[in-house]
């Protein structure tokens, strides 16, 4: 396999003198199976040859490789590398990203094959966080999407402590309060609630583990925040039409994005529900889409609307990568063709707004959900029906949209006693 990519003798000698040489063929087969192109792998091999020189120069054993060596390699490459393959005249950031991608993919392969041990937490603090998230996953039953959001707050808190030369054993209640104040601006009320909520749970966990004492646990009052106090942001019919029309449906990306946006508009699905859709969740014979709801964890059956059906078929035939191994409906158009994430769907929505020149502050996929609910209410659907369509477990979640349809509420208002007007 290596001979197909490196035909020059000088390139082969570079690998044959390295401890990585016996594993390069397996790595290339693994990457090819994941859908990476020959051109991409040819570029990766150039960076891996330099990494092999770094490993040899620093006398690093194969079993001792870990994530820290990626940054060390990049620093060494800039200062010391003078191999037979000259560096291309590319932007330094582009070279750095390609190097990181190449080496990280190799480390992943070596870990899968058992040649390199799994990465251990870098310090005691990271180990504690790892243990805490395992607790949330196993004992609290939190979803991976929730844990992903909490990880971002934990990373910020861990970094803040490190910047102030603190750790979990040396921090005080005042330090925790200072961190909350540091998150105050320009955070939204929802973000502040998430920060305080994470800290309350995490500090209780630390106290249970006897890492901190009772005196270290500060009183963390949540800022008063009324749920559903503000009006939901919605799109106009013209905005929705312009966003869909702006998608370039002649490209594979465009076919995927159009089908995705049309499903958001038609069904008001959550972003996480779109990422969970599998190919076998669409019953073409009965024209039903089976949706696994992310919040309520219930299954919802929705009719496959003809316009959505045509868009999905067009995407499956001419847009979805043939090399994709996963069964997810929407996948990345770049190798390794994994399932789309909620962040990826948010980027598709934001890109659609930019192309259509839609000026709106909140640009996430949830805005289509708000728009769908409000349009259903204005069309005369009952709150119970709307709640069933959107999969609301709490009726108050549906009642929130009544605020946007004040003019329509007159039709269902009760007559005042005495004939008052």
Give the model confidence (pLDDT) of 155-188 as tens digits. Answer: 888 888 888 888 888 888 888 888 888 876 555 6
Residues 260 and 358 in one domain: yes
* Whether residue 146 is found in the same domain as residue 247: no
259 falls in which pLDDT band (50, 70, 90)? Answer: very high
Mean pLDDT of 343-367: 88
pLDDT of residue 329: 95
pLDDT tier at 415, thresholds 50, 70, 90: very low
Q: Residues 295-303: what's their mean pLDDT?
A: 80
Structural domain harbouring 86: 2-112
- Report if residue 242 sits inside a domain: yes
More confident residue, 255 or 69: 255
Q: Indicate if 84 and 131 belong to the same structural domain.
A: no
Q: Is residue 221 part of a domain?
A: no
Do the domain assignments include residue 226? no
Of 43, 58, 48, the C-alpha closest to 21 is 48
Together in a domain, 138 and 256: no
CATH number at residue 159: 1.10.150
What backbone phi and psi angles, to 5 degrees, belong to 408? -75, -25
Q: Are residues 143 and 166 in the same domain?
A: yes
Contacts with 312 (C-beta within 8 Å, 6 or more apart), sequence order: 259, 282, 329
Sign, Cα dihedral of 399, 368, 342, 182 = negative
Write the pLDDT tens digit of every residue in 80-97.
655 554 444 444 555 678
The residue-averaged pLDDT of 145-164 equals 85
Least-confidence region, from 11-20, 44-53, 175-184: 11-20
Shared-domain flag, residues 277 and 341? yes
- For the chain, the domain total comes to 3
Residues 6+ apart with CB under 8 A from 252: 318, 319, 320, 321, 333
For residue 419, the model assigns a pLDDT of 45
Which alpha helices (DSSP H) does 59-143 contain, by range? 68-80, 92-112, 124-138
Does the residue 340 lie in any domain? Answer: yes
CA distance 106 to 167: 33
* Assigned domain for 416 exists: no
pLDDT score, position 277: 94
| pLDDT classification of 36: cutoffs 50, 70, 90 | confident
Strands (E), 284-417: 288-292, 299-303
**Predicted confidence (pLDDT) per residue in 216-235, tens digit:** 665 565 555 555 555 667 88
Q: Are residues 69 and 145 in the same domain?
A: no
Give me the mean pLDDT over the 379-383 stretch: 76
Q: What is the CA radius of gyration of the chain?
A: 27
Which of residues 87, 112, 137 is at a domain's end? 112
Instruction: Please state whether the predicted TM-score (pTM) of the whole model is above 0.75.
Output: no
Q: Are residues 374 and 251 in the same domain?
A: yes
Greater confidence (89 vs 25) lies with 25
List active site positions: 270, 295, 366, 369, 392, 401
Q: Which of 79, 112, 145 is the last residue of a domain?
A: 112
Q: Which of 93, 86, 47, 89 is nearest to 70 (CA)?
A: 47
Tokens (6 digits) for 274: 């779109």
| pLDDT for the residue numbered 10 | 39
pLDDT at position 239:
93
For residue 282, the domain's CATH number is: 1.10.443.10
Q: Quick check: is 118 in a domain?
A: no
What is the SS3 assignment for 282?
strand
Residue 230 in domain: no
317 pLDDT band, cuts 50/70/90, is: very high
């Amino acid at each position: 396999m290596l001979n197909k990519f490196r035909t020059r003798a000088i390139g082969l000698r570079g690998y044959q003198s390295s401890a990585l040489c016996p594993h390069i063929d397996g790595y290339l087969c693994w990457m090819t199976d994941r859908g990476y192109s020959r051109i991409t792998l040819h570029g990766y091999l150039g960076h891996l040859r330099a990494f092999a020189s770094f490993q040899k120069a620093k006398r690093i054993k194969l079993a001792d490789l870990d994530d820290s060596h990626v940054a060390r390699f990049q620093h060494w490459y800039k200062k010391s590398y003078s191999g037979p393959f000259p560096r291309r005249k590319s932007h330094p950031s582009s070279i750095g990203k390609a190097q990181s991608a190449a080496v990280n993919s190799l480390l992943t392969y070596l870990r899968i094959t058992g040649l390199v041990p799994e990465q251990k937490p870098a310090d005691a603090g990271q180990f504690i966080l790892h243990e805490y998230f395992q607790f949330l996953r196993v004992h609290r039953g939190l979803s991976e999407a929730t844990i992903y959001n909490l990880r971002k707050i934990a990373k910020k808190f861990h970094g803040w402590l490190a910047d102030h030369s603190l750790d979990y054993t040396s921090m005080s209640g005042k330090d925790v309060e200072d961190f909350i104040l540091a998150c105050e601006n320009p955070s939204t009320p929802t973000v502040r609630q998430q920060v305080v909520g994470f800290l309350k749970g995490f500090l209780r966990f630390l106290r249970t583990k006897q890492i901190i004492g009772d005196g270290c646990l500060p009183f963390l009052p949540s800022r008063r925040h009324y749920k559903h106090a503000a009006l939901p942001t919605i799109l106009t019919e013209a905005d929705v039409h312009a966003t869909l029309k702006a998608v370039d449906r002649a490209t594979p990306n465009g076919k995927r994005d159009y089908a995705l946006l049309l499903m958001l508009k038609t069904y008001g699905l959550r972003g996480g529900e779109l990422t969970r859709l599998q190919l076998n969740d669409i019953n073409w014979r009965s024209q039903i889409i089976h949706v696994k709801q992310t919040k309520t964890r219930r299954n919802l059956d929705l009719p496959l609307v003809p316009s959505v059906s045509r868009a999905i078929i067009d995407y499956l035939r001419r847009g979805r990568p043939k090399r994709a191994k996963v069964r997810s409906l929407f996948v990345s158009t770049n190798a390794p063709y994994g399932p789309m994430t909620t962040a990826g769907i948010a980027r598709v929505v934001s890109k659609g707004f930019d192309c259509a020149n839609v000026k709106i502050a909140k640009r996430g996929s949830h805005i289509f959900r708000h728009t769908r609910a409000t349009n259903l209410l204005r069309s005369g659907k009952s709150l119970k029906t709307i709640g069933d369509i959107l999969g609301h477990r709490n009726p108050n979640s549906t009642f929130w949209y009544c605020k946007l349809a004040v003019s329509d509420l007159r039709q269902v208002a009760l007559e005042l006693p005495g004939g008052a007007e």
